[in-house]
Structure 1
Amino acid sequence: MANKVFLILVLVGVPLSVIGTMMHWSSIIMFIIYCLTIIALSSFMGRATESLAIVTGPRVGGLLNATFGNAVELIISVFALKAGLTGVVLASLTGSVLGNLLLVAGLSFFVGGLKYKRQTFNVFDARHNSGLLMFAVIVAFVIPEVFSMTMEQTEKMSLSVGISVILILLYLAALFFKLVTHRGVYQTSHEGEEHEEEVPEWGRNKAIGVLFIATLAVAYVSENLVHTFEVVGETFGWTELFIGVIIVAIVGNAAEHASAVIMAYKNKMDIAVEIAVGSTLQIAMFVAPALVLVSLFFPTPMPLVFTIQELIAMASAVLLSIIIANDGESNWFEGATLLAAYFIMGIGFYLL
């Protein structure tokens, strides 16, 4: 049923997005159309990556899902940088970290926990990811803020570029570690058990084709979505911070949000956790530094310097998620705890 709804939204939303842009319809109406269209397109990206995940396994599948889920936000952010909206971009990166660690993981634990009393996932991956999360968010994001307090803008950018290059190199090393040199080394006992063989919804070629077409469509819609932010913010009284942290983050990550919850409901917690945590690591260690480097080609470069509120929110989310997930088990109450933290922070950002 849901797939039919998303198909209708795509068939209606994409033409309306083109027509509305050409006819200069109301920014508020177009904002709603663009958001619904991106979410619907994201659902197709999620189904395609789920089909590929069945073929490639949980780790690669989770990585694929996180990558294409973040591709939507990366595209939106590039066009936002082009428009000079660096505040929105930094806020959307914050929103992605909070959304993945608290909203996505929280919903996955909660929904899966309602069906199963106790769910387990790879504790070795959880502990490995914990160290990377601490490094990526608390070390690599907090240090630029501390050191940049006495720096000029050019010095801030030099510091940000240096940190960005290190983050990208370490992220690539982490992928090489997980997928090549130590693949299968830290395997829990239940991972080796035989499971009922699943049949992917789409074949590999069709899934790749859907991903390609959906990504192109998202790129077009995202570019136009960015131009509505200013009018929407003035109309509803939303700040750049709230638009970035909540609106852009939720719309941009809709695909992985849905995929992680579906995986958790099917008791595939390794994939669900890999999507939530893997996506956070990809945002912090690849997308954010990549956007810093891309911003050098635009009139307004973006230093990797967040506000105090953003840093405290991200650090709190990291610490809470590490404490809850480090035992390799989850239940609905732990999911409710993560969701409560997300809503508390959401209220705070709205009232700023």
Structure 2
Amino acid sequence: MTNKIFMVMTFSGVPLSIIGTLMNWSNILLFFLYCITIIALASYMGRATESLAIVAGPRIGGLLNATFGNAVELIISIFSLKAGLVGVVLASLTGSVLGNLLLVAGLSFFVGGLKYKRQEFNIYDARHNSGLLMFAVMIAFVIPEVFSMNLTKSKTLTLSIGISVILIFLYLAALFFKLVTHRGVYQHERETEEREEPEWGKEKAIAILAIATSIVAYISEHLVHTFEFVASTFGWTELFIGIIIVAIVGNAAEHASAVLMAYKNKMDIAVEIAIGSTLQVAMFVLPVLVLISLFFEKSMPLIFSWQELVAMASSVLLMVVISNDGESNWFEGLTLIAAYVIMGIGFFLS
């Protein structure tokens, strides 16, 4: 039933989005139409991810979902940078970190925990990811802010470029570690599960992911142009739009996929999507955007506001404490969601 609803939303939303763009419909109407269409397309990305995870394993499936999902955010951010909306980009990436760690993981733990009293996931991956999260946010994000106080703009940008290159290198090294040199070394021991049949074959699933991402990219380009009008109409700040609205829409694929996996008690995939996507944003997407911004009129240094840094650091610490035992339940999920709501209220009022 749910798949049929998303199918109707997709096959009506995509043509309506194109028609509305060509006919210059109201920016408010287009904003909500674009958001709904992107969320509907995310359901296809989620189903494709599940098929890939069955065929290739939870790590590859989760990584592909995070990559295609973050491709949407990367595309939105590039168009935003081109438009000179550096603040929106930094805010949306902050929102992505908060959204994945608190909202996506929180909803996954909560929904899965309502069905199962206790759910397990790979404790070794959780600890490995915890170290990378601490490094990315507590070191790579805080250091530029601290040193930029005594640096000129050009030197701050140089520092940001250096840190970005290091982050990209370390992220690629982490993938090599998990998927090549130490693949299977830290295997999660659990009872043998029944062999599932994927809904789609590998080639079809990858094709659907690629097509859905391409359509989302087109819609996202036009979504960016509605931000300023929507902000002025509803009285939303640039910070709130970036951290809450753009992040939720951009991460719709991860939201849908992770919660679905948790409901089916596939916590390794759910956690890989939520935390793996966060790491990809912090250690790859953001550094790449810093380098890409050098080709635009307005460059983007790796400098966040203190509110953004404190929010991200708090989210990382909370996730590390909750996930390091390799288990989850509905109450831990509710705790993460509550933290997200509190931060959302703060950013809305700021």
Q: Give the TM-score range, shorter chain.
A: over 0.9
Matches within 5 A, 1:1-352: 1-190=1-190, 193-352=191-350
**Code of the aligned partner of 1:314:** M
CA distance in 2, matches of 1:325, 1:96: 19
**Code of the aligned partner of 1:315:** A
CA distance in 1, matches of 2:187, 2:214: 37
**Code of the aligned partner of 2:152:** E
**Code of the aligned partner of 2:121:** F
Deviates more, 1:27-36 or 1:17-26: 17-26
Deviates more, 1:222-231 or 1:59-68: 59-68
Unaligned runs of 5+ in 2: none
Contact 2:42 2:256 in 1 (8 A): no
SS of residue paired to 1:189: coil
Identical pairs, percent:
76
CA distance in 1, matches of 2:203, 2:288: 29
Contact 1:292 1:302 in 2 (8 A): yes
Question: In the TM superposition, what is the alpha-carbon distance from 1:188 to its structure 2 partner?
Answer: 2.6
CA distance in 1, matches of 2:36, 2:188: 40
**Code of the aligned partner of 2:250:** G
CA distance in 2, matches of 1:42, 1:121: 24
**Code of the aligned partner of 1:45:** M
CA distance in 1, matches of 2:91, 2:117: 36
Q: Report the TM-score when normalising by structure 2.
A: 0.98
CA distance in 2, matches of 1:6, 1:67: 22
CA distance in 2, matches of 1:318, 1:86: 24
Contact 2:119 2:329 in 1 (8 A): yes
Deviation per CA, 1:36-70: give whole Å up to 9, x if none: 11111122112112211110001111111111111
CA distance in 1, matches of 2:171, 2:129: 11
CA distance in 1, matches of 2:212, 2:338: 33
CA distance in 2, matches of 1:15, 1:335: 37
Question: In the TM superposition, what is the alpha-carbon distance from 1:153 to its structure 2 partner?
Answer: 1.7
SS of residue paired to 1:302: coil
CA distance in 1, matches of 2:101, 2:217: 25
CA distance in 2, matches of 1:260, 1:53: 12
Question: In the TM superposition, what is the alpha-carbon distance from 1:109 to its structure 2 partner?
Answer: 0.8
**Code of the aligned partner of 1:160:** S
CA distance in 1, matches of 2:63, 2:89: 23
Deviation per CA, 1:232-282: give whole Å up to 9, x if none: 000000111000000000000011111111111111111111111101000
**Code of the aligned partner of 2:345:** I
CA distance in 1, matches of 2:65, 2:210: 14
Contact 2:88 2:239 in 1 (8 A): yes
Q: Report the TM-score when normalising by structure 1.
A: 0.98
SS of residue paired to 1:183: coil
SS of residue paired to 2:295: coil
Contact 2:72 2:250 in 1 (8 A): yes
CA distance in 2, matches of 1:202, 1:188: 26
CA distance in 2, matches of 1:122, 1:204: 24
CA distance in 2, matches of 1:72, 1:97: 15
Contact 2:122 2:188 in 1 (8 A): yes
Unaligned runs of 5+ in 1: none
Contact 1:46 1:69 in 2 (8 A): no
SS of residue paired to 1:306: coil
SS of residue paired to 2:197: coil
CA distance in 1, matches of 2:272, 2:307: 27
CA distance in 2, matches of 1:2, 1:129: 33
Deviates more, 1:4-13 or 1:279-288: 4-13
Q: How many residues align structurally?
A: 350
**Code of the aligned partner of 1:273:** V
Deviation per CA, 1:315-340: give whole Å up to 9, x if none: 00000000010011111111111111
**Code of the aligned partner of 2:314:** S
CA distance in 2, matches of 1:26, 1:269: 42
Question: In the TM superposition, what is the alpha-carbon distance from 1:194 to its structure 2 partner?
Answer: 2.6
Deviation per CA, 1:116-167: give whole Å up to 9, x if none: 1111111111111110000011110000111111222211211111100000
Contact 1:110 1:333 in 2 (8 A): yes
